[in-house]
Structure formats: C-alpha cells, structure tokens
Structure 1
C-alpha cells in the first residue's frame, strides 16, 4: 500500500519553536485586511500592496522563526486545512452566546444570532461595511465587552491555537459544554483583534485565499504546482524549505490517493471550422453530463486481491470517500466494484462524473438529486430494504479518462490511447460503473449537429476533446472545449411576478411565483436578489410589514401556495404581497424540483416594483410554458457560439509587435541588438500618468529594439535581454527567480532622452540581483544623487508621432478584444459575471477631451466580461456615453451634438417589414454608470435607470 507523502518527510526545525499568534495577526492578517484603494501609498494596486506584505511576512518568518511555516499555514489557509469542526456560523454564534451568557431576546442576542437577517436593520447604523459583514468581528466585540480585563494578547502561541483547534474537531466534543470548556481558556487570553481572526479561522474563512498562489510562490517556486497535485499543506511546506532546490518532474505529477486539480475545458474561442482544424479533424464529442466531477483512486493490496482501498475527490479536492466507500464493504459505489477491474490492475486513478441514475425512468437526474441518492444508497447496507421501496435512483460513476496505472503516469499519453486502455482495464457494471461512449467527430458540421441536438434536448452541453491531447493537471487547455446552451441563446423577456417568499440574508432574496390558471394555485418559480436599491428594500418592507408567516412553524396551505424543494424563511399570501418586474437573460428548460413550476430563470434582475399591477395580473404558468416552448425550440436559425476573444488586447498587441505584424518604422539604432520582454506599463507616482505597455513597445520599436514574449537565453547571457516591469506579478516573480533582473520602464525613456544606453542606477531597477544593486549604487554620489540622470520629462517628448497602425481586419480584431485578468481567484468558471456582457456589442461616445487611457479602461472593462466594442451603430446593443464635465458648456455641446447625430442615424436606418414589426435592434443610449453598476451587481441592470 502507498505510504502518505508527508510521513516520509522530516519536520523542519525552527530556531524559535513557539512563535506567537500575535505575530501572525499583526504582520499578516491585520496588514492585508487594512489594504484598500484609499490606502495604497506608493503601490500601483491592491494586489501589489498585498503581495509586498506577504513577501515581507515570509522574510520575517524565515528570519525570526525558521523554515517550518506549516503550523502557521494551517491558520492562514483554514479552508485548506483538513480539520473539521462541524460548526458553521449559526453554531458558532450560539456557542458564543452561551459562553458569554448573553440574555435571550436582548439586542446583543439578536445581533449575534440573527446577524444575517438583521443586516438591513443595523446597516444604516454602521459605516464600516467590511467589518459589518463579518460574524467573526461581531463575536469578538461581544466577548470583549463582557470581560473585566482586556488581555494583551501577545502570549498565546500558534502551537496553542493549533492544539485547541485539533481538539475542537474531535468527535467526543459534540456538546456545547465541552466545546466551551475547551475554548474559554484560549479566548480569555486573546485580544479583541486576535479573537476576530481566531473566530474566522474556526469558520474556515481565509482572507488570504485570493492571494494563495502568490503566497505559495513567494515561499518556493514549485509550491503552487506541487500543491495542485497533493493538495496537502504539510506535504507542501515540509517538502519545500529550500527555494534553490527544485522538484523532479515526477513529483509534479499525479500522486496515488492524493487529491489534485483536474484539467478543465476552455470556452469556445474559434469558429467551428477553425476548431475542427485545430483539433486535426479528429476529436471526441462527449455529452456534458449534469453531475459532480469526481477523481477516483483505487489501490489493491498485492497480498490480497479482495483488499481494495478507494478515494473519491471532487474537482475542488473535497474528499467524498466516506460517502462513496473507502473499501469494498461500505459506500454508495465501492461496494459494487469487487470485479470492476482486471486482476492485473493494482492501482489506478480515474477521471469521470458522478451522477444520479433513475432506473425506473432510465435517465440521469439533475445534479441536485445526486447527494440524496448517494446517502440513501450508502446507508442501505445498515437498514431494511423496505425503507427504500420508493427509491428509484442511485449514484452512477461515468468514466472518461485514466491518468495512472500500476505506478505508471499516463498524463503524457494521448487521449485516444488512454481511452483504449480504459476499455481493456475496466469491467463495466451497468448503471453503477460505466465508461462513457464518445463518437469521434471530424468536421464543423459534426460540431453543429451536436450543438443543435444539445439545444433541442436541453441537455447540459457538449465537450470536444482532441484525440491526441495530453492531460494537463490544474490547467484549462484548448485541446478540451466546453460548449453549453447558455453560450448560444438568451432569454430577453421581462416578466411580472408576484412575491411569495423571502430568504433572509446580507442581501435579501425574494422568491416569486406563477399562477396556475387551472386551479388558481401560486407556484414558486424563481428567486431574485439583484437590482434592489435601499429605497426599494424599504418599500417592500413597508408594503408587506406584519403580513409574513414563518415557514417552519406555519407552512402555507397547498391549495393557495406551493413551494418546491427550496423553501423560504418567510412566506406571504399573494394578495398581501406585491409585483416585481423581473429581467432574465436565460431560461432553464430542463425539469427540476427546486421550484414548484418545474423550471426557472437565470441571471435575474429586478427592474422595478410594479405598483400599477395586482397579483392577479401576473403571468400564468400556461403563458410561461408557451414562451418557454417557443424559446426552447426556436433553433432553426444558425446559432453561433459567443466566441471568447482569442487573446487579450494587451498581450495580443505585444505579440503583434514581436511578430512584426504592426509596422513601426525604426528611426534610430539605439536599441539595436536588444531584446525586450514587457511585463507592465509605467506609472508616474507624482502625476498619476499611466503609460501602457503597448506604448512602451512602440517606443522600443521606434528606436530599433525587438519585442519578445519568451526569455532569450543568449541575449540574457550577454546583457542584451531586458525584462521591463515595475509591478510584481506572479509572472514577474517567476522570471526574477530564474535569475533575470527586472528593469523599470523609466530606463527606456532615459536612454531615449540621452540618446545612449544609460548605465543602471538604483532608481531604474525594480528587482535585481545583489551584485547588480551594489554595482548600481556605486554610480551615485555621497548624497545619493546620480552623476548622469536629471529629472524625467513627459512621455510625449519620447514617443512623438508614431507611424499609424494599419487598419485591422475583422478576424484580427477578434484577437485584441480581451484583457488578461491577473490573480484570478479560482472560482466557479460558470459565474454569470464571466459572461456579463456576452453577445452584447457596445458603441462608445466620448468627448475629444477625454483622455485616451480612460477610454481604453472602459473598453477593457467591457471586454473583460465578454462584451464587444463596435464602431458600427447598426450592430450596437448599447451606446455608452462616457463621463464628462457637465458644467463645461463646450464639452456638453459637443456630446449633445454627437448623440443627436447618432439618434438621427439610427432612426434613418430602421426598416419595417410586414405587419410593421421592427426587425432591427434599437440600441439603448445610456451613461457610463450602466457598465459600472452592471459589473458591481454582477447582472445587467435596468438601462432605463441610466438613460442619457
């Protein structure tokens, strides 16, 4: 049997074995928490400042504590730590209430126990919204107010905190009295600030989580990649203590019985013809199954073939082994797998999808039914068969890849060969353990047929996989492409719905209903939480005050109101309620039990409260079903995938410079023989002037230099490779760790100014080796002033009039429409925000006095969320009027004149067909605030509120 990795590792020894918890709080937690846009100091961004704080903390830890940072990482990343406390926010709030003996029904009692539900009531009394949202802050405040002496809080060690948390997760501590007995001694010794973070750790809420990759990278260059394949803090931080020692290639591959981040599919970037060609006209067409991505590990005892051990991990590395079975005796899946593998298979790692299979209807059920089916199947062994007489579903594991076999790594093997191996090694167990059947496609027509089938059947989507592709851990690779129906169609109807329930929280969510015309029953249909202003929240509260009923104690009569599996906290009779106009972008036409109607809408936004409509005037179930039928079957016209732009505008432009597709005439030989890699632009700390990296590239080309996107080893060895950056991004750190110096952009402009290659001085170096820094310091006088350089001039004096960039063709334009999003938080890739402006074309109107960088910034904000910038009014969905000084009469006149002309042009282009139906789009003319508010609310807001 495989031995866990960390059991073979020696624990690094610290020369300060008991660092205080206060060190962690003061040097990391508090400093990172204090970073805001208003407190950036000399840093270019929030990310840059947080990165600096993390670097300094790690340096301080190594200097004052030692090389064993694992005990601290358990507290820094509680979400990654394996301890289970079986205590969520409600349980912790009740525990603190009992520990502090807070009187029931008192203001403090309600503040602690109803902190979510009372959010809107006390929001107006507290201006610190960041802390207001944190239960940990509220609990720390309550504890501190109820003790006579406030401890200094500098004597509790990290080891003591870890000991308490280790014991808190033990099974025998299930009762509140024992938990209080364990926690009180440590709580009494912690300061208010330390208490806040202690409670946050218990809630497994890491505020450093968005910077996790940077933290790991700052500790060791291989830490992020190693963490992806072992997902174990102890293994990572015990193994990686010397940043100069790099891991062997095999150590960065799959490890048996350890969770890892699987390969993910990319979103469509090319046309179907281009996609088929890119995949060499040989690709698997898989049905995208509505299940839970699951990695299964199996290890057989060489001395006993019937002794098999299993591990099941989700795509986010959650361990579901207990549910699906750690051996052949128990669990919802493993107990059926005694003969599922050929006898020669001693160890294997499979990639697949766990779904719920309904044997009566012979179908795969929606994802929401999986867990219930798995639990029922897992406990069947311990109860009577009669208890499950009505159960018609159980888990089914559908396999589509194999990554490890008998100690051999298969990630580098072609997919077609891995699939062939699966067929030879796996003995399928019908409706329990199966290998996915996947036809091979060859053309664009095959893709279109698959998409049409997906839309007509309302299935989850399709996956296209190059048959020759290799498996790339923790990567989203273009050899796998995911296409969902949501990418192909939008539901643009506005519906008037009556509110029948509310789910209380930081942002109240209102459950709406449709009336069934056959029996007059109001059935739950959807939940909307976006689009409400404070005034509208107050209006809803005023209209519905005293009319709500608690669902748990007083459920609604089924002949009046019916809910699906999702229940509200409070419900209300339709006649006592109000009507909301709801805007939705997409429709879910697949059957589901969440709502009583059996279907729902996605990406909802409340446009307004309809004071002019009564509950009886709302849309009925029958009317909605007819709309749904038309919407679901209207796929006879050709539908194109919303193509994600090929590359970010910034990176694509830089690559175009390196490929010489953008013509700029060299006017000087100053930078001849120099190669430049540009990682960031330039920010003038005095004036705030920003110089884009693309403008820097133009200057370099103008003065004879070349742009590259890869490290030129030969040029680097001769000192002719220059890496330009003044922001410490992850890529910049990786390059610097390879021994490459990072030079500030100002060096380029100084060279241009003096018409010669200027020797490097400290102000021109962003990140350099000790040797370079010492040599550069010798070029300053005793006062620290340069012997050569003088104050900088404006960029205009360097750039001048560059040759115009040749007009781009439509296909080339698609390459420049996305901005690289750095430090992406590994969130849900199907988040609505990612497709906020999908299939929306925007025409921008700006004053001639509007700075170029402001316009580019707005364009990037739109393109980041899949919007398209167009110069054709006939294609525009929205016309955005950029902000301008309305008190400047000249500018106001200019904008007014432009908008008047646009309005006339649109009116002149309208064409009417039969029955006077307008067939062309009339774009909304809105202010820039429409874009900003949509991004803030993560949904398209009502254009009417932002009309120009």
Structure 2
C-alpha cells in the first residue's frame, strides 16, 4: 500500500470526526483514488467483510498487548483487560468528541506516551496472517506505531471500525456496481479487480456465480401483523417453519460441491467437496442425473439420532464432526434443508417466482430423510392462519415461522418484505407480560460502555421467610428499551449497585455458581424495581437459579405502581409453566384466552390483569348474579360476605356452580362480592386450588410492615350443609380448603388432631367422613409390594390426599416428609417394568429389556425372580429411607412416577462400567419418548448419589 499507515490512520480519524454522509463519502473516495491499492484499502475499511479469520477477540488482543508492553500487574494492564469497567473510563481518552469508550480507545490511552511514532508502509497488514507469531508482531508494532495507529490497528483486527458509515457508502465511493457485485460474489477481491474502471459496467444481468458465495435474500422482522396483510394483498401466502440452524448455500458442479454460509464462510471441508466425501456423498445421489449445475439456498441443521429431533444451532459443528468421524453410527449428524433454487444447469432463476422455483426444486431433488430434505410449507389466507401457525410452532419449541409471497423474485441481500419472519417476540398482540424483580446488571460495550446495558431478573422465593426473602434468578434482557431509558430501569445514579462476587454471593441472591451468565453488578431487592418483561416462551435452563428462563425476552416497562413483593413468585411461575406447557399464552385477535386484549396489541400483566368494568369484556363466570332475581327465604347468612371463586366450584359434570351458589347464599341473607376484601369478606368459597385461590392463601405484607389478614377458604359443602340444617354451622376442618391462623388456633381448642370435635355429637355420616379424611397409613416395608396397577394408583391418590392436608394446614416444611410428593422407580433389575399407560399407542423395541406390566402374574414372577437375584443392594437400601421421608416406591414405571433412580456406576454398580451405566440412562430416555404426556410431566432421571445428598440436606 503506497499510502503510509500513519496517514491512513489520520484519514480514519477524520472520517470519524466528520459529520454528514456526503462528507464522509468524499473522504473515502480520496482514499480509494489509487485504483491499484483498492483491494487493500477496501479490506482495511471493511474488515468485517474480509473472509480471513484471525480468531482474535478483545480479551485475547488485550493479553497480547499486556505481554508485549511488559505491564503485567499494573493499572494499565487492568484497564486493558477489563476495559468495560466504568471505573477505568476517564475523561480525555482519545478524541474528546467521543462520549463513550471502547477497547481501541482504552488501548490508545495505555499506549499514549509509551512509544514513539514511525512511518510504516504495508507492515501492519502482516498481522492479518494468522500463521505468524502474534506476540512478535505486536511487539514490532509497539516499537513502530504511535497511539493513534494502534487504535485503528486494533479496530481492524477486531473488525469493528465504528466509522459511522455503512458498507454501501464505501462501495458507492468505489463503483456504482460494487454493492451488486459483492452481493453476487461476496468477494472484496473481485469488487476491487473487476471494477477497477469506474466507467465500465460488468453486471449485464442479475445472476449468481457458480462456486462463488452470494448474499442471500433475507426475511424482514415483523412488528405487527399489518405487514402480513400488506404482503397478502388478497392472495394466499406460504408459511414455513423458521429453522434454528445455519443458513447454507450449496453449489453443485457435476460431482463437485461447494458449501458457503450466509457470511460467505467456506464450509466445503466440513461437508464434503466431492460426491464420495462426507455429507456430499449422500446429497449427490438425491439429485436427478440430469442435474449438472445448480445453486441451492437452505439451512444446515443438527439432527439427534437417539431422540429423532433437530437440535439447536450450537450443536451443528459438533454434529458434523461426529458424522465425519463415526459415519452412520454417529449420535448426531448434519441434515441439509433446502428451500430455494437459484441456478439450474447454468440458467439463473433469480427472476422466476418462488412457486416456480420451488416446483423445479421438488422435481430435481428427492427427499432423503436425515440427509437432504425440502422444507415443507402450508398455505395461508388470513392473519388468523399466521397466529395458529405461530402457536403450533411454539408448541413444537421452534423459533417461529416465515411468511413468503409465492410470486416473489429472489432479491440478493434484500430484506424488502417479500419474506417475513414472525417470532413470538415480534408480535405485540402475542405473549404474556411477566412482572419480575430486577436484581443484576451487565456492562455494555461501544456506545453503552461504562453503563449497565443488559439486566438480570429474578422471581421471589415464596418459601423463604418474609424477613429473609430470597430471589431466584430467572432471565436476562437487553432489548425493548432506548438509551435514555437505562437510568429509569436501573436508577444507577442512586449508588445502590454493588459488584457481584460469584465466589461469595449474598444469601438473598440464588444463582448457579457455575453459570456463564454472571452479572457484573447486583442490587439489593430493597432498592430494586419491578419491571415487565415480554417473551416468547419459558424454556429450561441450567444458567439460572429457577431452572428456567425466557426465550426472546424484551423489556416492556418499569412498574412504578408495584413494590418488590408484587413480583412474580416461584410458585406462580411453576403453575404458569404447568398451565401453559412452557409456552407464553397467545392472544387471539378480538380477545380470548390468556388475558384481556384490546385489538391494538396491548396486553395485561400476568401478575395483575387490569379490570375493565364493561359487560363486553367481563366473562359471564366473573360477573355477579342480579339481586333482583333472588327471593330471600331466611337470614342464615345475615351479616356474612362471601366471595365464590370462578371455576373453583363445579359439579360432577364439570359445570361451574358459581352463580347457583351465589343465588343460594343471597336467598338466605348473605351478600356476595367478586373480589374479597380483608376488612369485610367473611370467607372465600372454593373446592380446589386455582391460581387466584393460591394467591389468597399467601401471607402479604403491607407497605407499613403490617400483615394482611388471611382468608378462610371454605368448601361449598359447608354452605349447602348450613342450608340443609337451616342454621349457620361452625367451621370444621372437614369443610376447610384453607384456614387462617385465627381459625387454626380455634380448631386446636375444639377439635382433636384428626378434626373430631370435642363438643359436637358424632353421627354416622360425620364419622364416615372423618375416617375418609384420615391420613392413609403406609404399609410399605423393605419388601417390595408387587400389587397390581390399581393398588399403585390407590396409593398415589392417598399420598396426594396427605399432601393436600399438609398443605392445607401449613405442614409443608416438615423435614420428615421431605419426599411427600415423590413416587420413585428404583432401577433394581435389568428388566424395566413399565405400565402400558406410559407407552400410549406406540410400540417399544428395546431388545426385550422392557416388560409391560399391568399387574399380571407373569410380570410379577419375572420381577420377583430378578429382585431375588439382584446384586444392586445399595439401590435397594434407598427404599426404607425414601419411605421414611414420606415418599412412595413403586415397582412399575408409570404416569405416577416422578423420579427414576439409577445407581452411580462408581459406587453402586461394580459389575457395570461407566459406559454401560450411560447406556442405561439412554435406554430410559428412549423409553420416555413413548410417553404421550412427556411434554407436560416426565420423570426425572437421578442417581443414588443425588438421593443420598437429598437425605443429608
């Protein structure tokens, strides 16, 4: 390069300082005036388009500079290695016009005053050769470059120029066809060499070039479903699954193949260059013999052989390497999903409509399951079709959908709107809002450097004491707000944030110590705020304390009207996940399930749905009965105020009895309200625990520190018993779904521990009810019960009754009953005994290891024989320990099973290797794939070590 790098760096400074698109473009044009140096200048101005991979990020480069400068252990070294920390951001770094700092500015401040400045021609370019020793090169630069040159050299290496110009501005300064040629070839070298004469046109028509990567057509992100209406224009559209893989273009030339990513990275070595290599050998046989050359657009996916499911993008490279190493025995393998064809036998198809291109694709390519497949599509006509497709996509845990105009041409590097990608977070009319407690923050970079730019939220651990509340981390968000909203969200200027020490975290902050999502700062909940976050779905995650996180989370607003105690609790989160099968509740157009919807994309919060006092939006079961329709009969309930919870009182046919019960109450002198008030409502009527009932059972603390009165929650049976006896009966334990502390104390005075009254005469009916309500005795011993399935189900029902009684009377904390909700299958035998209810309509072929046991004698005999000859004594010894802690141990794996306990190979199975034990786990995972309810409830597979640790904790 004839232009000295020192002058080149000064020109870059000038571009950055200059305002206005035209003025910046003029400087770029001057830098490109030497047409022979264009390739080098373009590569330095647009390093992110240079396909050479340096594999150097800011942390690696910082370490190289620290070593080359010999400043290990100094403040300057700390500034480089932790450049995002606002403590190192001071005024006067570099250009005073810059209000933020990045790595390059930090490097400038460290090197300034340390080195001398010398003129340099083309030497800096050698750093781009990844084969040279990096420290040696940087040491050379330290001795020969000035601070400004180092600043721009580091930006070139990191491929983050921050010039305030787009690649189109640079291309236009070079040649009017530069952008188009780059879209077709993805080659800066060809742009520089083929367009050296600014007056010569080289693109006669729009076409992709065989074996040269192109910039693919892109889908536009949808912000509202109005975009679908514009796309539709009264015609049908296509709906495809949005794939979670890597965009990949396939170039076929006879028996030779080329593979390129969306960013023109060459993956030919990974997927095969010839018809008998790697994945290409399976692709080649799928084409008709008449196909000589073609270019396909598609997505490379990772397929898990054992689960028969596609995996996330992060597993793709691993799957490809496994397949190349192990071939057909690989546990994961790459699969190419084609959805477009752009070149066929040297004829360009860019200007052909999508429907014709797809028709041709299906004619020349045969679907080969697990090798190469053609992406299917569904035809839609209305926005409701889009909502249904998106909802189905969420149920399948997919990323979303893509809506395409079947009459559209293929537009290179274009996102004009002929293709629309619809993710759950793009649609304001879809998804629930979660009110979460903001507890952590992450430092940003670039224009957000020195500020908290991403935030961590938590749910309240409602099992912890109110005066020692714990907060369980749940998600992280960094979008949905503007720069000027960061202070509103974080109120960082108030000084309450503290550095997070993951080695010694505070007791209130529950977060996995091995999590990769470690906040830089945390804030105590007493100073925190409640924020509303919107997302697509809830997914499992080991990176957060709750075991779950949000997919596509986005900030909505700060809830100034809510205290920290009003945030979402862990119990409410778990109930929400159970009710929605892990997905966020979709809003239907014109109102519907999941909360109120006003048709304009506005939603109500999951925690508190704002009430609209109009009959048009209040569903019938939430309305009170008309007083004038009731004829008063007596005064049994005079002076009493009731609240009958919708959906919590039903008859055997499943019909809601709310209105009927309210009429009976009012006929006998009582009054009814739709929302209970602590100072006036006598009791709440409910026969089962719904979300609203569960909330009423929780102790709440007012702002002044006083506790709100808890409600007595009474079964409808008490109301009917009062009416039958024509008198107001006292509350008794048998009538209570939940008792307040005051009522509990009263019960202890007038009843024994089984609820039998000291003062009221017993009757045959009341005695029968008393016996039925007694906790069932557990007759399990270390000898396994080999009874039929009906006996197992009976025990499960009895155990559930005990748990409900314990919950009703606040006995959940009893450590002796820690396993009260556990139904354990101990892996004692080589044969797995499973109920047919666990298998659905499928058939299981696992080499005879699995026996379907529904209580027949043959299954019992085989089971007893294997147990008698079992060497797995340490697993068997767990049974009395589990039983003594309130758990159930069953001999058959079924829908009731909550845990499958497999021995730890190094402790429990001396006759089995670790590999054999892993195979055993895989066998259970394979078996669980047949369980029809696996997405709603599936057993946890744990080791004996885990169970023993639970005993000790």
- TM-score tier, shorter chain, comes to 0.5 to 0.7
Pairwise CA distance, 1:194: 1.8
Structure 1 match to 2:64: 95
Structure 2 match to 1:435: 374
Pairwise CA distance, 1:579: 4.7
CA contact (8 A) 1:580 1:606 kept: no
Structure 1 match to 2:554: 603
Structure 1 match to 2:10: 26
- How has the CA–CA distance of structure 1 residues 564 and 910 changed in structure 2, closer, same or farther, with 3 Å as cutoff? farther
- The counterpart of 2:413, out of the listed 461, 474, 484, is 474
Structure 1 match to 2:149: 194
Distance 1:270 1:578 in 2: 39
Pairwise CA distance, 1:286: 1.9
Pairwise CA distance, 1:236: 0.2
Distance 1:143 1:273 in 2: 54
Matched, 1:311 2:285: no
Structure 2 match to 1:581: 530
Between structure 1 and structure 2, the one with the greater Rg is 2
CA contact (8 A) 2:62 2:80 kept: yes
- The counterpart of 1:511, out of the listed 433, 456, 464, is 456
Any idea what the Cα deviations from partners look like across 1:292-349, whole Å, max 9, x if unmatched?
332222333xxxx4xx3321212x4344444444456766x44543423233323221
Distance 2:398 2:463 in 1: 29
Distance 2:39 2:363 in 1: 43
- How has the CA–CA distance of structure 1 residues 179 and 639 changed in structure 2, closer, same or farther, with 3 Å as cutoff? same
Structure 2 portions without partners, runs of 5+ = 593-598, 606-611, 625-672, 676-953
Report SS of the residue matched to 1:525: strand
TM (normalized to structure 2)?
0.54
Pairwise CA distance, 1:70: 1.4
Matched, 1:257 2:257: no
Distance 1:561 1:615 in 2: 21
Distance 2:513 2:429 in 1: 28
Report SS of the residue matched to 1:23: helix
Distance 1:840 1:263 in 2: 29
Matched, 1:182 2:137: yes
Report SS of the residue matched to 1:364: strand
Pairwise CA distance, 1:382: 3.9
Structure 1 match to 2:810: none
Pairwise CA distance, 1:223: 0.9
Structure 1 match to 2:287: 341
- How has the CA–CA distance of structure 1 residues 279 and 455 changed in structure 2, closer, same or farther, with 3 Å as cutoff? farther
Report SS of the residue matched to 2:548: coil
Which aligned pairs between 1:24-173 and structure 2 lie closer than 5 A?
24-27=8-11, 29-35=12-18, 46=19, 49-59=20-30, 61-62=32-33, 65-104=34-73, 106-116=74-84, 118-120=85-87, 122-123=89-90, 128=96, 130=98, 132-147=100-115, 150-151=116-117, 153=118, 155-157=119-121, 159-162=122-125, 164-167=126-129, 169-170=130-131, 173=132
- How has the CA–CA distance of structure 1 residues 211 and 228 changed in structure 2, closer, same or farther, with 3 Å as cutoff? same
Structure 1 match to 2:176: 221
Which aligned pairs between 1:252-651 and structure 2 lie closer than 5 A?
252-266=206-220, 278=233, 280-281=235-236, 283-300=237-254, 305=255, 308-314=256-262, 316-327=263-274, 333-334=279-280, 336-365=282-311, 369-382=312-325, 391=331, 393-441=332-380, 449-450=388-389, 453-454=392-393, 459-486=398-425, 487-491=427-431, 493=433, 495-497=435-437, 499=439, 506=449, 507-508=451-452, 509-514=454-459, 524-528=473-477, 532-533=486-487, 536=490, 542=496, 544=498, 548-550=501-503, 561-562=511-512, 566-568=516-518, 579-589=528-538, 595=544, 597-600=547-550, 602-604=553-555, 607=558, 613=564, 618-620=569-571, 621-625=573-577, 632-638=584-590
CA contact (8 A) 2:292 2:345 kept: yes
Distance 1:396 1:480 in 2: 23
- How has the CA–CA distance of structure 1 residues 238 and 548 changed in structure 2, closer, same or farther, with 3 Å as cutoff? same
Structure 2 match to 1:705: none
Pairwise CA distance, 1:76: 1.1
Distance 2:495 2:384 in 1: 54
Pairwise CA RMSD? 4.7
Any idea what the Cα deviations from partners look like across 1:380-434, whole Å, max 9, x if unmatched?
5447999x7xx5x433221111111232211122322222221222232212310
Per mean C-alpha deviation after superposition, the further-off stretch among 504-513 and 398-407 is 504-513
CA contact (8 A) 2:251 2:294 kept: yes
Distance 1:370 1:25 in 2: 38
Pairwise CA distance, 1:256: 1.6
Pairwise CA distance, 1:143: 2.7
Report SS of the residue matched to 1:312: strand
Matched, 1:248 2:219: no
The structure whose RCO (Cα within 8 Å, separation 6+) is larger is 1
- Aligned pair count? 592
CA contact (8 A) 1:499 1:579 kept: yes
- How has the CA–CA distance of structure 1 residues 543 and 110 changed in structure 2, closer, same or farther, with 3 Å as cutoff? same
- How has the CA–CA distance of structure 1 residues 350 and 205 changed in structure 2, closer, same or farther, with 3 Å as cutoff? same
Distance 2:574 2:384 in 1: 36
Structure 1 match to 2:739: none
- How has the CA–CA distance of structure 1 residues 210 and 589 changed in structure 2, closer, same or farther, with 3 Å as cutoff? farther
Report SS of the residue matched to 2:98: helix
Report SS of the residue matched to 2:53: coil
Distance 2:109 2:13 in 1: 16
Pairwise CA distance, 1:108: 1.0
Distance 1:912 1:611 in 2: 25
Distance 1:908 1:498 in 2: 32
CA contact (8 A) 1:263 1:477 kept: no
TM (normalized to structure 1)?
0.54
Structure 1 portions without partners, runs of 5+ = 1-16, 36-45, 641-837, 842-874, 878-906, 919-948
Structure 2 match to 1:786: none
CA contact (8 A) 1:136 1:196 kept: yes
Pairwise CA distance, 1:358: 3.4
CA contact (8 A) 2:540 2:547 kept: no
Report SS of the residue matched to 1:294: strand
Distance 2:461 2:316 in 1: 30
Pairwise CA distance, 1:526: 0.7
- How has the CA–CA distance of structure 1 residues 436 and 240 changed in structure 2, closer, same or farther, with 3 Å as cutoff? same
Pairwise CA distance, 1:456: 6.2
Distance 1:327 1:565 in 2: 42
Pairwise CA distance, 1:238: 0.9
CA contact (8 A) 1:298 1:309 kept: yes
- How has the CA–CA distance of structure 1 residues 494 and 354 changed in structure 2, closer, same or farther, with 3 Å as cutoff? same
CA contact (8 A) 1:276 1:444 kept: no
Distance 2:519 2:424 in 1: 33
Any idea what the Cα deviations from partners look like across 1:719-760, whole Å, max 9, x if unmatched?
xxxxxxxxxxxxxxxxxxxxxxxxxxxxxxxxxxxxxxxxxx
- How has the CA–CA distance of structure 1 residues 556 and 535 changed in structure 2, closer, same or farther, with 3 Å as cutoff? closer
Distance 1:512 1:334 in 2: 46
Distance 1:568 1:540 in 2: 22
Any idea what the Cα deviations from partners look like across 1:47-88, whole Å, max 9, x if unmatched?
xx24223224424642xx345411111111111112222211
Pairwise CA distance, 1:137: 2.5
- How has the CA–CA distance of structure 1 residues 325 and 556 changed in structure 2, closer, same or farther, with 3 Å as cutoff? farther
- How has the CA–CA distance of structure 1 residues 319 and 578 changed in structure 2, closer, same or farther, with 3 Å as cutoff? farther
Distance 1:558 1:183 in 2: 46
Report SS of the residue matched to 1:549: coil
CA contact (8 A) 1:491 1:584 kept: no
